[in-house]
Amino acid sequence: MYIKKIVLIVVLISLLGGGVFAYKVYNAVLSPNTAFNNKEATIFIRSTDTFEDVSQTLMPLLKDFDAFVQLAERKGYASNVKSGKYIIKKGMNNNAIINSLRSANIPVKVSFNNQERLATLAGRISKQIEPDSLELLKTFNDTEFLKTNGFNADTKLAMYLPNSYEFFWNTSAEEFRDRMLKEYKRFWNEDRLAKANALNLKPVEVISLAAIVHKETAKIEERPKVAGLYLNRVRRGMLLQADPTVIYAMKKHQNNFDLVIKRVLYKDLELDSPYNTYKYKGVPPGPITMPDISAIDAVLNADKHDYIYMVANVENFGYHKFAKTAAQHSRNKVQYVRWINAQKIKR
């Protein structure tokens, strides 16, 4: 009888111990362990971060931080941290949190528009993925990479096509640059290459001309017409005489790309720069900005007409008046000069 009691007590203690153990396991693994009120929390883990770094980020987000650490060590996450962007949803348990941090790297949308320099592009991209601007710029300017892929100091801007792209946040500078090269090559498909060849222009020359078109007009529907005008000038061996190229030349000459110029003066046209299309014939040696794809396609699919002159249309702002002869252009220009003088725009 005494032995039976002892056995019963041992069984009860075992059951109780098992229950306590099961309860601890439940709390450590399956019990909700988030301490924030929002629907989700976003965390960024850098490529150089250790588990201690991740712990510092997670500590204020969790109810029972010690339970998380214990499970992270048991599951091997503590010694195998993954960089990237991750989402922790409200009410997640430790097991789900660790699984998310281990395998649910969230892509980010990276976008950029019409930058005039790779330095400003690097600054823009550094705000969207892990590498800093200096690392990105150094990678963009890698002379061996540029030479291998047919670019130089003047044309390197052409490789970056303004758009939105999907990347992982922990993408390296080299991976970003190499992806942009792939996008550039993908863009220049057989159809576009054939159209560029028909114009007797290389892809970088098309982009350089498109950059001028982009700067001349923000009206997408007018771009094929403007592109046709500049192509007419190229075919006739005329100077392009595009004011945006003079403005770019002045910024480059003064090394001040924050320079604001609303009116190009006659003295500005004397600046000796290969980008000054009032002095040098043909397409500039490189793009003066990253043109929109719409501007590139406008050059490749330019309107066919006989216009070789244009001036801003002050009766329909944002658009231009086009002319086939110098006399007609002079009449159009009088109206524009009168308007700009009335606005007292001197520079």
pLDDT (0 to 100) of residue 10? 45
How far apart (Å, rounded) are the C-alpha atoms in residues 192 and 49? 44
**pTM for this prediction:** 0.87
- For the stretch 111-152, pLDDT in tens is 999 999 999 999 999 999 999 999 999 999 999 999 999 999
pLDDT (0 to 100) of residue 11? 46
- For the stretch 193-223, pLDDT in tens is 999 999 999 999 999 999 999 999 999 999 9
Residues of the chain with pLDDT under 50: 2, 4, 6-7, 10-11, 14-15, 17-23, 26
Four-point Cα dihedral 187, 190, 195, 198, nearest 10: 140
Bridge-partner residues for 89, per DSSP? 40
Q: Are 216 and 241 in contact (CB under 8 A)?
A: no
Going by DSSP bridges, is the β-strand pair 107-112/163-168 parallel, antiparallel, or unpaired?
antiparallel
